[in-house]
């Protein structure tokens, strides 16, 4: 009977609009949830076979839930350096635990990037999901893989120990006074027996013609040592005796006297610029300005055996040395070494590289955030914590680095807002309520008609 089909159509309308109301309720409740993606219930007609000529059988309506997972939310700034947003396609790979992660543990995917270190140092978001990434290799690179989830792990930003960087490059900008008179000691100077290094250590060698220039060198264990660069003017114009020696001399083992590491001539051109091609401080004329200190106990020059530290090549940039008619002065000394430092902060780049910042100005890479992409992100299966799991409609997952292969870039110190528009949702509430009332009116009307039909026999 067509009245019965009308009643069933009204019931289907109630069910479909109830689903629509539930979806709207979820959207409104999550308007401030980070990276929440709105849901929507779309309606589709149901058609029944019209078996009896001249009569119409109502089919009703069916509600189909639809996720807008791929819709980009507004990127908003955050005060936390570990809050992350993805600008573009992709998801953070997360797990429900940090330490003890096994290959069999499920991986989930989210764009909710409000990550912060937990008590153990792992980056975890508000839903308790741990951020995954490729750990840094010993050579400073990352062994990325597009499909192997076992190669990524939880990112820990605390248990890193201290940071040390041994000095490998020193740059010196200085001027030697061209008007310095040749002292009487210049005639007796001998780098092997009457050296400036000996004078610094015992007071019995040849004094330099200018205060020695101090150089700070950091070793492989973070210890700091002082080297000195001293000059003695010779009777030959534009030519100076020069020595590099350790203070104290006991820090190094050398073939020269009293910690002398290098000794020779430094020459200048007639315009006052340094003539490195004809200088012999580092060996033969034009030799690279490099000192190679062997490991403790090695062949000289080497670190003292008592120190127990590693070998250390040291390059000196003297290209900014001048000999002008002005006071002898050191303009600047630059070094790439850093003594022992402790972690003071974390930064994340747009490429997803997570780095630790130390109080000795060192930056150490920790990991690179993995970005997962899907051919059809709207087909993912939603789970608790504003996250998703893989599903057949979503297609095959691919892991990428941020900004590569179509993956979005990381926006550090940012969060993605929800995609809920309250004006749209409130309008939907009104129309859904009216549609629900109308469907209930169908049932009431069909009930009245059936009552009239029953009353015909009275």
Q: Is there a domain that residue 197 lies in?
A: yes
Using a 10 angstrom Cβ sphere, with 0-12 exposed, 13-18 middle and 19 or more buried, the burial of residue 138 is exposed
Q: Which of 319, 340, 361 is a domain's end point?
A: 340
**Ramachandran category for residue 265: left, alpha or beta (phi over 0 → left; psi -120 to 50 → alpha):** beta
Residues linked to residue 341 through DSSP beta bridges, in sequence order: 163
- Structural domain count of the chain: 3
Residues 311 and 271 in one domain: yes
C-alpha distance from residue 28 to each of 17, 291, 408, 424, 456 (Å): 16, 68, 27, 10, 50
Name the pLDDT band for 455 (thresholds 50, 70, 90): confident
Residues 128 and 275 in one domain: no
Residues 175 and 304 in one domain: yes
Residues 297 and 315 in one domain: yes
Residues 114 and 243 in one domain: no
C-alpha distance from residue 273 to each of 236, 265, 288 (Å): 16, 15, 17
| pTM recorded for the entire structure | 0.74
Q: Is there a domain that residue 7 lies in?
A: yes
Pairing of strands 274-275, 84-87: unpaired
Q: Which of 61-65, 325-329, 454-458 has the lowest mean pLDDT?
A: 454-458
Q: What is the pLDDT of residue 317?
A: 95
Residues 280 and 399 in one domain: no
Q: Report d(CA 300, CA 292) in Å as an integer.
A: 9
- State which residues form the domain around 22: 2-68+419-455
> Residue written as tokens 């589709």?
44
Q: Report d(CA 139, CA 360) in Å as an integer.
A: 21
What percent of the chain has pLDDT above 90? 69
Kind and range of the H or E run holding 431: helix 422-455
Q: Is there a domain that residue 360 lies in?
A: no
**Ramachandran category for residue 258: left, alpha or beta (phi over 0 → left; psi -120 to 50 → alpha):** left
CATH number at residue 289: 2.60.98.20
Q: Is there a domain that residue 358 lies in?
A: no
> Residue written as tokens 């999901």?
129
Q: What is the pLDDT of residue 236?
A: 94
Q: Is there a domain that residue 236 lies in?
A: yes
DSSP states of 168-232: -EEEEEEEEETTPPPPGGGGT-BTTTB-HHHHHHHS-SPPPSSPPEEEEEE-TTS-EEEEEEEEE
CB 106 within 8 A of CB 96: yes
Q: What is the pLDDT of residue 447?
A: 82
C-alpha distance from residue 334 to each of 94, 280, 313, 329, 331 (Å): 43, 23, 16, 15, 10
Q: Which of 102-106, 303-307, 411-415, 429-433 has the lowest mean pLDDT?
A: 102-106
Q: Report d(CA 456, CA 458) in Å as an integer.
A: 6
Name the packing angle between helices 2-29 and 422-455 (round to 10°).
160
Q: What is the DSSP letter of 435?
A: H
Please, which residues have CB within 8 angstroms of residue 453's CB and are 6 or more apart in sequence? 3
Task: Write out pLDDT tens, residues 372-427.
Answer: 999 999 999 999 999 999 999 999 999 999 999 899 999 999 999 999 999 999 99
CB 265 within 8 A of CB 230: no
Q: Is there a domain that residue 350 lies in?
A: no
Angle, vertex CA 192, rays to CA 188 and CA 197, nearest 5: 85
Task: Write out pLDDT tens, residues 217-263.
Answer: 999 999 999 999 999 999 999 999 999 999 999 999 998 899 999 99
Residues 183 and 224 in one domain: yes
Question: Residue 216 above 60 pLDDT?
Answer: yes
Q: Is there a domain that residue 218 lies in?
A: yes
CB 420 within 8 A of CB 26: no
Residues 265 and 303 in one domain: yes
Q: Report d(CA 120, CA 138) in Å as an integer.
A: 23
Spatial strand order in the sheet of 224-233: 213-218, 224-233, 239-247, 260-268, 274-275
Question: Residue 50 above 80 pLDDT?
Answer: no
Q: Report d(CA 244, CA 282) in Å as an integer.
A: 10
Q: Is there a domain that residue 352 lies in?
A: no
Residues 311 and 174 in one domain: yes
Q: Which residue has the higher pLDDT, 86 or 450?
A: 86
Q: Which of 252, 179, 173 is nearest to 244 (CA)?
A: 252
Q: What is the pLDDT of residue 308?
A: 93
Question: Residue 1 above 80 pLDDT?
Answer: no
Residues 18 and 114 in one domain: no
Residues 47 and 96 in one domain: no
Residues 134 and 178 in one domain: no
């Amino acid at each position: 009977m067509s009245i019965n089909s009308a009643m069933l159509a009204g019931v289907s309308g109630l069910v479909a609009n109830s689903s629509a109301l539930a979806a709207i309720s979820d959207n409104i409740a999550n308007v401030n949830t980070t990276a929440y993606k709105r849901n929507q219930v779309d309606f589709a007609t149901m058609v029944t076979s019209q078996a009896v000529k001249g009569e119409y059988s109502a089919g009703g309506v069916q509600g189909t839930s639809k996720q807008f997972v791929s819709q980009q939310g507004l990127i908003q700034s955050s005060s936390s350096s570990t809050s992350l947003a993805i600008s573009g396609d992709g998801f953070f790979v997360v797990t429900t635990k940090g330490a003890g992660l096994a290959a069999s543990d499920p991986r989930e995917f989210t764009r909710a990037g409000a990550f912060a270190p937990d008590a153990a140092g792992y980056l975890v978001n508000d839903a308790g999901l741990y951020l995954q990434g490729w750990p840094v290799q010993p050579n400073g690179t990352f062994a990325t893989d597009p499909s192997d989830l076992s190669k990524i792990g939880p990112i820990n930003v605390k248990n890193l120990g201290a940071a040390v960087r041994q000095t490998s490059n020193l740059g010196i900008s200085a001027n030697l006074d061209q008007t310095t008179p040749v002292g009487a000691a210049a005639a007796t100077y001998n780098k092997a027996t009457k050296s400036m290094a000996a004078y610094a250590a015992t007071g019995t060698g040849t004094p330099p013609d200018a205060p020695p220039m101090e150089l700070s060198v950091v070793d492989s264990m973070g210890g700091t040592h002082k080297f000195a660069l001293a000059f003695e003017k010779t009777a030959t114009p534009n030519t100076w005796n020069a020595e590099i020696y350790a203070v104290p001399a006991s820090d190094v083992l050398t073939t020269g006297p009293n910690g002398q590491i290098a000794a020779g001539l430094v020459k200048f051109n007639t315009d006052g610029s340094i003539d490195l091609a004809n200088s012999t401080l580092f060996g033969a004329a034009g030799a690279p300005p490099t000192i190679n200190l062997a490991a403790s106990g090695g062949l000289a020059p080497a670190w003292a055996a008592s120190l127990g530290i590693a070998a250390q090549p040291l390059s000196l940039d003297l290209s900014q040395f001048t000999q002008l008619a002005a006071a002898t002065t050191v303009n600047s000394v630059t070094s790439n070494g850093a003594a022992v430092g402790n972690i003071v902060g974390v930064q994340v780049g747009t490429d997803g590289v997570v780095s630790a910042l130390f109080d000795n100005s060192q930056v150490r890479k920790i990991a690179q955030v993995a970005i997962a992409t899907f051919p059809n992100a709207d087909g993912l299966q939603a789970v608790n914590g504003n996250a998703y799991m893989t599903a057949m409609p979503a297609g095959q997952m691919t892991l990428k680095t941020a900004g590569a292969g179509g993956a979005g870039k990381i926006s550090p110190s940012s969060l993605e807002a929800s995609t809920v528009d309250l004006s749209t949702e409130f309008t939907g509430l009104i129309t859904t309520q009216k549609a629900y009332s109308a469907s209930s009116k169908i049932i009431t009307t069909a009930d009245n008609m059936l009552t009239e039909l029953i009353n015909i026999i009275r």
